[in-house]
Structure formats: C-alpha cells, structure tokens
Amino acid sequence: MKNLISFIQIFIFNTLAVLIAKYQCDCSLFLDELVCQEVDTCDWINELCVQKDCSKFNENECDLIQKCSLNSEGKCEATQFCSTYQVKDQIDCIIKKGNCAAENITNDAGFYQCKSYIPVDCNSLTDENCQNNYEDGQTFCWLNSTKQCQSYSINSCLGLPLDVCEKLNCKILSDVCSSFQCSDLTSQEQCTYVKNGYWGELTPCLWKVDSTPKCINRTDTSDLTIETCSKMTDGRYYWKNETCVSCPKNYDDQISSSFQLILFLICILHEL
C-alpha cells in the first residue's frame, strides 16, 4: 500500500512538475523595498509596497496594465469609459482599453471609436457583425479560419485566429497560434518567463548551462533568492518564509489545488 502511495505521489509530482503561475501578487506581499521596485506594477511609498499609480507608467507599459489607459494626449491615466477612446486598430479597444468593444467602421478622422460592450453570444452573430464583440470580459468574438463567428478566450493563445494572434502577444507556428515557450528565448537575459498571451498563465523559465546552453521550463524555485524570486516571475511569485512561492488568488493564502488533490488521493488510498 505504502509503495502504491509513493508511486502515485511521484507520478503526480512529476506530471505537475512544470511551474505555472496564474495570479499577480498584491503589492503588499512585497516587504522589501528593492523587490517591490522591481515589480512593474508596484511602487514603494511611505515604507509600503503599493499599486503603482497609472500616471507613473510610460507609454509602452500603460495600455497593458489593467485599469490604466493612454489618453488622447498620450498620458497614462486610470481607464475611463470606453467611449473616451479612439484607436487605429479595432483590436486595440480590447487589448489597450480594457475590455472595450469597437465600432465596425472608422469615424471621419480615420479612427475606430471604442464602445462599452453588450454581452453577446458569438455563435448567434452574423459573420459581418462578429468581430470586436464580447461574451464577457474574458471571451471575445472573432471570425475563425472558415470565416464563421466563434468565441475565444483572451487568456489563451492556442488556436486564436491568425490575424489577432501576434497582437495578443502570441506566436504563429506552422499556421497555428500558440504561446511563446521558454525555448523561444535565446539568451540568458531574456530567459525569465513566458506568458500565455498578455493575460494568461505565466511559466517561469530557467537558463540551463551545459554544452548547448538553453532556456527551459523551470521545475522548481529552489535557486531563486529574495532578490530574484519576484523579479524573475513578473511579480507572480513572492518571498515567504525563506522560499519563493506563487502568489495566492485574492491575496489571502490558500493551499494550492494540486496539493489538495494529492491529499485527497492519499486519503482515498488509505481508505482502501
């Protein structure tokens, strides 16, 4: 029985071995000033690590931070109503202006007006009215390869239509949209992490030095230090009790679901 349990434990640990991080830490979890300042979305103010104010993001960062958008004067501000934004490329209403839909024709100035979305069922839309609509904040409508309206998640690159693939920070490989992999990063400086699009899960990477140095999926965080833990994971891991652990959802600590699954299986096996 014991052998079976350890076999199953090893099996589970191995299949779950690649690290994945879903959630960004609340800035308050970064207790060290330097660590705090190295996380893009946080700022050290009055001896505390807090969410960075939109006005402190530069032009390139601004639009990709939830809650911040570049206004028409080029200043980064807290995202206003969708109707205050105009874009050159319709998909930017989604990507850059936080879940806005877009008009299907340009205005006199040649811009697409962003607009707030009314939730729709992508499958029920005609092909002409398909694009730049939403089912919810995470699911948008776009024409698929057979030019029919389909719903897609903004959190996953896999299978996205090729005309929006790269705009959502995904790559096209053999005519299929997929997420970047650690192996796509070819230098030690770049080898930090990859994300599934802009908003999907983060996979931490590791630079493996041998005869052919390469960037591979990271399988543990044991070599990360208080200085590198959050920096190397875009603030999705943090330093807790001398170890580098992934950030909890909703900022309160919870047992990870894989750990619960293991406990659950062990309990069942003990019952047998």
Ligand X SMILES: *[C@@H]1O[C@H](CO)[C@@H](O)[C@H](O)[C@H]1NC(C)=O
Q: Contact 24/250 with Cβ under 8 angstroms?
A: no
At closest approach, how far in Å is the CB of 231 from ligand X?
A: 19
At closest approach, how far in Å is the CB of 272 from ligand X?
A: 31
Indicate the residue among 9 and 181 with the shorter CB distance to ligand X: 181
SS3 per-residue string spanning 99-123: CCEECCCCCCCCCEEEECCCCCCHH
Candidate residues 2, 6, 105, 270; the one interacting with ligand X per rule CB under 6 A: 105
The string of DSSP codes covering 57-100 is S-HHHHTTSTTEEE-TTS-EEE---GGG-EESSTHHHHHTTTS-
At closest approach, how far in Å is the CB of 81 from ligand X?
A: 18
Phi/psi-derived region of residue 230, left when phi > 0, alpha when psi is between -120 and 50, beta in every other case: alpha
Indicate the residue among 155 and 217 with the shorter CB distance to ligand X: 217
Bridge partners (DSSP) listed for residue 113: 86
| Residue 148 in the binding site for ligand X (CB under 6 A) | yes
Interface with ligand X: number of residues (CB under 6 A) = 15
| Residue 139 in the binding site for ligand X (CB under 6 A) | no
Q: How far apart are CA 190 and CA 34, in angstroms?
A: 21
Indicate the residue among 188 and 243 with the shorter CB distance to ligand X: 243
Indicate the residue among 90 and 99 with the shorter CB distance to ligand X: 90
Chain residues in the site for ligand X (CB under 6 A)? 18, 104-105, 123, 128-129, 144-146, 148, 150, 181, 203, 217, 241
